[in-house]
């Protein structure tokens, strides 16, 4: 139940005014031309004490490979229910993934961090490929990835 509640808080605006406000946020992830298969990417949020809050998106549809997204897997215990309904195809080398979500205003400027784990078949896994604090000032500022992601940014 906690995972469902976290997902609802993260990815939807409540319909009752005053309880929560949300804004549309576009996540843009540009992959390097690394010369391998499509990358699996896990987008998830932690709080200021690095406690898992919820998953935003999973790029890659075969759950048997989720264990290679080690930061996300460790945080969720590999619970595939965390990404039910929020998955898409893996992302090819040199390609761009753009996702638009409704994120609660309470996630910004409050110590929350967006993480992206990456994994490519027959190549090294890259936990915490990108880690970026969710701040209003950080919107539109590209952040470099460590291995497979050329850069990542979010816009509000």
Is the pLDDT at 77 greater than 80, yes or no? yes
Instruction: Tell me the three state secondary structure of residue 109.
Output: coil
Planar angle of CA 116, 119, 123, nearest 5 degrees: 145
pLDDT band at 7 (very low <50, low <70, confident <90, very high): very low
Cβ neighbours for 130, distance < 8 A, ≥ 6 positions apart? 29, 114, 115, 116, 143, 145, 146, 149, 152
End-to-end distance of the chain based on CA atoms, in angstroms?
A: 29
**pLDDT, tens only, 89-105:** 999 999 999 999 999 99
Query: Which residue is listed with tokens 């690095």?
Result: 50
Report which secondary-structure segment, H or E, holds 41: strand 39-46
Domains of the chain by start residue, with CATH: 2-155 (2.60.40)
Q: pTM of the full predicted structure?
A: 0.87
């Amino acid at each position: 139940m906690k995972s469902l509640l976290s997902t609802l808080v993260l990815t939807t605006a409540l319909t009752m005014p005053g309880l929560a406000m949300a804004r549309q946020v576009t996540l843009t992830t540009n992959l390097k031309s690394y010369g391998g298969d499509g990358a699996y990417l896990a987008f998830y949020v932690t709080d200021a004490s690095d406690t898992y809050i919820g998953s935003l998106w999973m790029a890659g549809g075969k759950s048997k490979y989720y264990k290679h997204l080690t930061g996300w897997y460790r945080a969720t215990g590999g619970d595939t229910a965390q990404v039910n309904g929020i998955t898409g195809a893996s992302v090819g080398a040199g390609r761009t993934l753009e996702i638009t979500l409704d994120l609660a205003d309470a996630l910004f400027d409050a110590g929350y961090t967006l993480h992206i784990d990456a994994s490519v078949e027959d190549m090294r896994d890259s936990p915490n490929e990108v880690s970026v604090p969710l701040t209003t000032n950080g919107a539109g500022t590209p952040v470099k990835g460590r291995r497979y992601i050329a850069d990542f940014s979010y816009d509000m």
